[in-house]
Structure 1
Amino acid sequence: MGRLVPAVVRAFDILELFLDGGGALSAPDIVRRLELPRTTVHELVNTLVARAYLVPVSDQPGHYRLGVRAYQLGSRYAEQLDLAAEGQQVARSVAETCDETVHVAILEDTDVIYVAKVDSTHAVRMVSAAGRRLPAHCTAVGKMLLASLPDEELTERIPDGTKLVAMTPNSLTDPATLRSALAGIRERGLAVEESESNPDVSCVAAPVRDRSGRVVAALSIAVPMIRWSEERRTGLEPLVERGAARLSERLGHRGVS
């Protein structure tokens, strides 16, 4: 890496103070938090205001908030994001850590569609493919995504009395039983599937959020039953949470929702 330009670094330090969502900042706030000279802060703030990265707050003299140029850059960045491409990169990183198959999936009506997948290197592993569609209620990613829906929308998609398809004897086929399971998933923030879509595979999944905090996908780790255990599940849960959080961050999400 080449030499960093101190003035540019400090300008970005000022802008990044606004990432915590605290609202407007004054020049003394910036001096205190960054431990910079007042003259330096004054010059940097004036430059950022002139370039529309900061704007003065009309009803708070001496305070500043992010300007339209920061929004424009963020919007352009969001436009170029590709869930499948970002998901593939994160899935590869997670798979390298646990050496199990990792999926990223989205919800379409009552099905999930896998948009990214990285295989385990084990001879015995889950066989699937990006683009595959499965009933959401039979999968960990699908249950995670269904659990993120408002109750009214969930009822619209899966009305009472619906007979849900069974892929294995462990599949949930009753909407009331499914809703009870989804309530627990919503509370935990994790979903587990034990041989519900494939008798030989179990999975654990976590939600992926976009920059607005909305759940837009789920990331899962799939493990053949010969390697599955309560201990294995417990060990994988923090990994799948970190992977989903990493993908969420790459999609622009910050903080806890």
Structure 2
Amino acid sequence: MVRRPDPLPGEPPSAAPDLARYLLRLGDDALVLGQRLCQWITRAPTIDEDLALSNIALDLIGHARALLTRAGRLDGTGRTEDDLAYGRSDREFTNALLTELPNGDFAATVARQLAYTHYAVLSYETLALCADPDLAAFGARAAKEVAFHRLHADRWTVTLGRGTEESARRMRDGLERVWPYTAELFEEDEVVRRLAASGTVPSPAPLRETWLGRVTEVVTEAGLTVPAPAWSATGGRSGLHTEEFGPLIAELQSVRRQFPGGTW
């Protein structure tokens, strides 16, 4: 029988399973988006962008490792980061749908990065204020790292929006493609409400207004407008994913599936 870890100082015992699920969501966001960005390696428009996107992916996978490790300790199962990354089915992943969207062309990837990085910086900045010193330290570090990813996305949004007629069209299409998937980032459910009520971690819902103001500023500078989608995607947090997600996870887990139990 696996012993459930003791609660953190000041953390009610009942908060541990909820916090594990919350951290698993953040970890899945980072892991899945990191895997998507890895698909740009050798395919980016320039060598510089090949290196930039691969470095961003490495940062995200580093964030995923820290978050999944902590989630495995808190949920009482004793699972490691590798168990959670490579040993779950696609229905067990709880990432936001935005992070799993296919890369599309470069402008679509930039649009996805714009939406995610502005959200992630705000999310990690609030995590840096939580009572748990380890999570607070992680949140502060991750916020600084994702701030550089945000600068990269901001710069390319403006560059493409104010470039040629074709680049502006592609950037506009990219924004239209990803925007219906942004609302899910700020959804509240019972897990989030309980954590927020106990003061363990803050809810993401109040961050949406600040996020919208910041991305609007960038999109306006690019000479474009923020889309107003007629629908909003949801379900990722509950394990319901897009049809492109299965092949992505199969690719992520391919070596473990070929050599179960293998060590290197």
Q: TM-score, normalised by structure 1?
A: 0.26
Whose Rg is larger? Answer: 1
More helix by share: 2
Higher RCO (C-alpha under 8 Å, 6+ residues apart) = 2
Q: TM-score, normalised by structure 2?
A: 0.25
More strand by share: 1
